[in-house]
Structure 1
Amino acid sequence: MDISQILANGIVLGALYACIAVGFSLVWGVLNVINMLHGSFIILGGYLTYFAWFYLGLHPVITLPAVALLLYALGFVVQYVFINKVVTAPVLTTLTLTFGLDMILYNLMTVFFTATPRRVTLDIGSVDIAGVVMPGDRLIGMGLALLLTALLYLVMRGSSIGRAIVAVRMDRQAAALMGIRVNRIYAITFGIGALMAGAAGAVFAMVFPVTTNLTGTFLGKAFVICVIGGLGSVPGALVGGLALGIIESFAGYILGPQHAITVGFLLMLILLVVRPTGLVGVKGYE
């Protein structure tokens, strides 16, 4: 296989990875909560997109906003009702709570949807650019993933909600003294994380099959990307996702696809030793 083809495959995969990880990074960086629900949120978004396409004939691009808003509402309620009660507790407490909630959601999806892999099939052919052949659905998926990541960056950088989230991230007590309702910002942040997860699942269902068996895989990749790129940074998630995608693409070609994930985790361990903040990790958001 040509190097340019491997690189192109890695960039497409990396864009999807960035979209998968950015919501996880946001929640972890702002709430200091390792959201074990994140992988299940991604799969739920993928399932909802598939069923809307299969039973209602709706194009996934049309259903994506509805799926994202539905996941936002679910994330907001979950945080406000459950996680908010223990959000200031040690990390192990919130991790255990989100793990329990994840088990409930995972089993509900397995019972009602089954674990059969499902994928939205878009017959739009392939594109050949200077000898690099790329399926049209992957190009659309990459474009949507980059667009979603860019929109989140703009929200964090230029909106009042984004500035409030940054303030809470930097100093919770000072933000409260300035009149910011911290608990509500926490719920909004968790909702945005779920929204991004659901949107990523909708995009992923256009490119690869989705099944509940992938919840742990997505969660693991989100964790690795946060370490590689830098926690709590939208550009960090993008850089980490692209880096992981390209590395896995080349590692899969050279060592075999069964070793691609191992190489990604090895890179994470190396970065934890030499650069714990990640490649572009910063304090707070830009």
Structure 2
Amino acid sequence: MDAAKLKKFAQYARRNLIEQVSNKLDLVLSQESAERRKHPQAVKKLEEQIQAHGEEQVIEKVAYIWFNRFCALRFMDVNRYTRIGVVSPAEGQFQPEILAEAKMGHIDEGMVDELARQRIFALLDGKTPSQDPQAEAYRLLVVAICNYWHGSMPFMFERITDFTELLMPDDLLSGNCRVPGGFPSGCGAAYSAMIDRIRDRKPPLPNFGSCAVNPSKGSGSHMSFDWGIAAYIPLHRECVQWDWSGDSCIRYDTVPESYVRGRRCNINEDRSDPPYCTKTVRWSEVFIEDTLAGPTYYW
């Protein structure tokens, strides 16, 4: 098994899914989000998890869970353990086979319960308003299939909790999302290594924290990483001298852009917290022998 290539792919997958889950988290936690109206209890549980474990840990955990599920479903599709492809298209098609079947009115009643089938058909028939009905219907199908396989493979398909479903990546039907549908080109060895892990009843990937390749002691440079969120404060002017008689500022200082780590930018009407912030960003750092290697990367 080529573990080095597997770890290389794990780094790619980690960046891909963490970015998607992070973006979804921002949407879900916004004050006017649809999720707060439709699933208030799930959002409350999500906020409790973040308070108890930290936002970064929740994001990484959810990304890792979804990657394991997608890889397992892909493996089952390729080996025809599933009757129709869940994340794989039929030959000559571009959408997952299970979605194509649902659009023709065919959903396995033994795997998808009646309520979920009604919601899926309502979306696909245009009876339920949605900005992207096919993507929303496909999300419901994937959740139902994962919960179905929980009965026979609980080690791989943990039952999906509400907040895990809320943070399910959105970009599942786009060509830009390459994790659910397969491995990038040149990753055949990584795919084979993943299959070996599944056959050994292990998750498809080792823990994301092990993805920085470290040689044995004394044989090379040891690497580690850190990442998190930050409130972005752009270049701005701040008043440093106030004319109280005229109720106006008479002298300003220009303050360079900065980041407040561990803080999310909250904007409420004409105020922001931390002051002057405009958005929430992500940051990451790589260390070699516990020394920062290069500048901090913000995105």
TM-score of Structure 1 vs Structure 2, range by shorter chain: 0.3 to 0.5
Q: State TM-score, norm by structure 2.
A: 0.32
- The answer to which structure, 1 or 2, has the higher relative contact order (CA under 8 A, 6+ apart) is 1
More helix as a share of residues? 1
Q: Which of the pair is proportionally richer in strand?
A: 2
